[in-house]
């Protein structure tokens, strides 16, 4: 026998469905807010690291191009034809020799060749019978052709422009990273206006789509509720890894650290300035995890990452080496300057409180020597860190090594 549903029964069922849906949507709305916030932060950090990587890559490429010009000038300086022309004082031959190779020849107060108005130069000494008689100047122009060579390995979407050190980020950029190439030249990596907004908008649209799918799944009371959110979280984690960002702390990971440190060592040797690294390790971190749990330990690591990035200079790089170890790369900083910064960080960490947890850290500091690689420099700082641990923790130790001559 069939019974028709009464209006009261239909109303109760409708209210029940609406109530269950509303209850289900409250946590969904909270989770969606967290995912949107993390997603947009991840996109912003990805852009910053993308620009930094592009600027570092262009800087290394520029150094390679200038070194090739310098090697060409060295080869030209020993050319028999040039030596003969110098002996014969043949101005026409000297001029033709310089023009054909794109060099400037400075000899007996005369200059042969065409100086470029905007170029970075490097000078090679010219000798005759073992006596210095002048110099050859290799020129690398700061023009569109050079810019195209620098832009070849750069990611799609990032643009490059030549500028002056300390100049404003121009070229129509909303976001930019500037690194020095020479005394009066720098390279600017930037995103065209609107690109960052488009990427952030795409992130919002992805989360929006995931939220709609989750809401439909919740209304149908199926087990597919979590799938769109899980897909979005997996995508966020994948993007963070591809952008070379540590997923937990939001700072550079080990891969990005090695690239940045290698580039800074090359730049230090070119410009003759100091470079140092600081390695820190949180003291008794395992005990913190055992007492408060791994989730609390993760919050502690995130707080340390924020603390480090808030104290170091804009041009410094902070990275998570792994576990509870962090590294700071400090360009244009000698051993004493790095030690002072390490002490500031140590005191700040000692006074930092995360919930009911307190912490201390041990520090190792090392400065770049002439024959250092990225591995040997990190190893020296790590050895100093080990001494700090042995000497009682919550202290800073400096790597004591034979001082090298200044990098030419």
Rounded alpha-carbon distances, angstroms, from residue 115 to 102, 121, 242, 375? 9, 10, 44, 41
- Note the pLDDT of residue 189: 85
- Note the pLDDT of residue 239: 57
Same-domain pairing of 351 and 306: yes
Same-domain pairing of 350 and 259: yes
Same-domain pairing of 180 and 292: no
Same-domain pairing of 68 and 111: yes
Same-domain pairing of 151 and 238: no
- Note the pLDDT of residue 209: 67
- Note the pLDDT of residue 223: 43
- Note the pLDDT of residue 172: 47
Number of domains in the chain: 3
Phi and psi, residue 394, nearest 5°:
50, 50
For 68-115, what is the HEC assignment?
HHHHHHHHHHCCHHHHHHHHHCCHHHHHHHHHHHCEEEEECCEEECCC
Residue 313: CATH number of its domain: 3.30.70.270
The pLDDT averaged over each successive group of 10 residues in the chain (408 residues) is 45 54 60 64 76 86 89 86 85 88 86 88 86 88 88 76 72 69 86 70 67 64 45 52 79 91 93 94 90 89 92 92 93 94 93 87 95 93 94 93 55
Same-domain pairing of 382 and 270: yes
- Note the pLDDT of residue 190: 84
Query: Residue 3: inside a domain, yes or no?
Result: no
Same-domain pairing of 348 and 230: no
Q: How far apart are CA 352 and CA 363, in angstroms?
A: 16
Query: Residue 395: inside a domain, yes or no?
Result: yes
Same-domain pairing of 265 and 318: yes
- Note the pLDDT of residue 228: 53
Same-domain pairing of 183 and 196: no
134 token code pair: 């002048």
Same-domain pairing of 194 and 231: yes
Same-domain pairing of 36 and 152: no
- Note the pLDDT of residue 54: 84
Q: How far apart are CA 387 and CA 401, in angstroms?
A: 14
Same-domain pairing of 231 and 359: no
- Note the pLDDT of residue 226: 42
Rounded alpha-carbon distances, angstroms, from residue 94 to 28, 131, 286, 394? 78, 18, 71, 66
Query: Residue 356: inside a domain, yes or no?
Result: yes
Query: Residue 313: inside a domain, yes or no?
Result: yes
Q: How far apart are CA 263 and CA 55, in angstroms?
A: 10
Query: Residue 179: inside a domain, yes or no?
Result: yes
Task: Write out the residue range of the structural domain in which residue 370 sits.
Answer: 246-408
Give yes or no for a contact between 60 and 224, defined as CB atoms under 8 angstroms apart. Answer: no
Closest CA to 262 of 252, 271, 275, 251: 275
- Note the pLDDT of residue 230: 43
Query: Residue 260: inside a domain, yes or no?
Result: yes
Give yes or no for a contact between 126 and 153, defined as CB atoms under 8 angstroms apart. Answer: no
- Note the pLDDT of residue 51: 83
């Amino acid at each position: 026998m069939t019974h028709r549903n009464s209006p009261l029964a239909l109303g109760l069922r409708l209210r029940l469905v609406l109530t269950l849906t509303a209850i289900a949507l409250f946590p969904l709305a909270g989770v969606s807010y967290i995912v949107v916030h993390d997603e947009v932060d991840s996109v912003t950090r990805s852009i910053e690291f993308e620009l930094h990587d592009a600027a570092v890559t262009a800087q290394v490429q520029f150094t390679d191009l200038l070194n090739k010009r310098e090697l060409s000038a060295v080869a030209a300086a020993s050319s028999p034809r040039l030596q003969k022309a110098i002996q014969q004082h043949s101005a026409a031959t000297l001029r033709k020799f310089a023009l054909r190779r794109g060099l400037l020849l400075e000899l007996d107060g005369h200059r042969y060749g065409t100086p470029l108005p905007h170029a970075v130069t490097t000078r090679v000494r010219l000798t005759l019978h073992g006596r210095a008689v002048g110099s050859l100047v290799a020129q690398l122009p700061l023009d569109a052709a050079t810019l195209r060579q620098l832009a070849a390995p750069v990611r799609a979407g990032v643009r490059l422009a030549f500028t002056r050190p300390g100049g404003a980020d121009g070229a129509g950029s909303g976001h930019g990273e500037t690194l020095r190439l020479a005394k009066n030249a720098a390279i600017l990596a930037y995103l065209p206006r609107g690109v960052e907004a488009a990427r952030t908008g795409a992130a919002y649209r992805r989360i929006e789509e995931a939220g709609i799918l989750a809401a439909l799944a919740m209304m149908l009371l199926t087990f597919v509720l979590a799938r769109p959110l899980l897909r979005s979280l997996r995508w966020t984690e994948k993007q963070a890894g591809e952008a070379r960002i540590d997923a937990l702390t939001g700072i550079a990971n080990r891969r990005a650290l090695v690239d940045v440190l290698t580039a800074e060592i090359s730049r230090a040797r070119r410009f003759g300035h100091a470079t140092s690294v600081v390695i820190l390790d949180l003291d008794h971190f395992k005990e913190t995890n055992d007492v408060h749990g791994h989730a609390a330990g993760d919050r502690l690591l995130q707080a340390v990452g924020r603390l480090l990035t808030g104290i170091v200079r804009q041009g410094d790089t902070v990275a998570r080496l792994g576990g509870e170890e962090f590294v700071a790369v400090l360009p244009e900083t000698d051993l004493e300057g790095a030690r002072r910064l390490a002490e500031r960080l140590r005191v700040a960490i000692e006074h930092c409180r995360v919930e009911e947890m307190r912490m201390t850290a041990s520090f190792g500091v090392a400065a770049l020597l002439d024959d250092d690689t990225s591995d040997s420099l990190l190893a020296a700082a790590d050895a100093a860190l080990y001494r700090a641990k042995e000497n009682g923790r919550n202290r800073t130790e400096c790597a004591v090594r034979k001082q090298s001559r200044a990098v030419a």
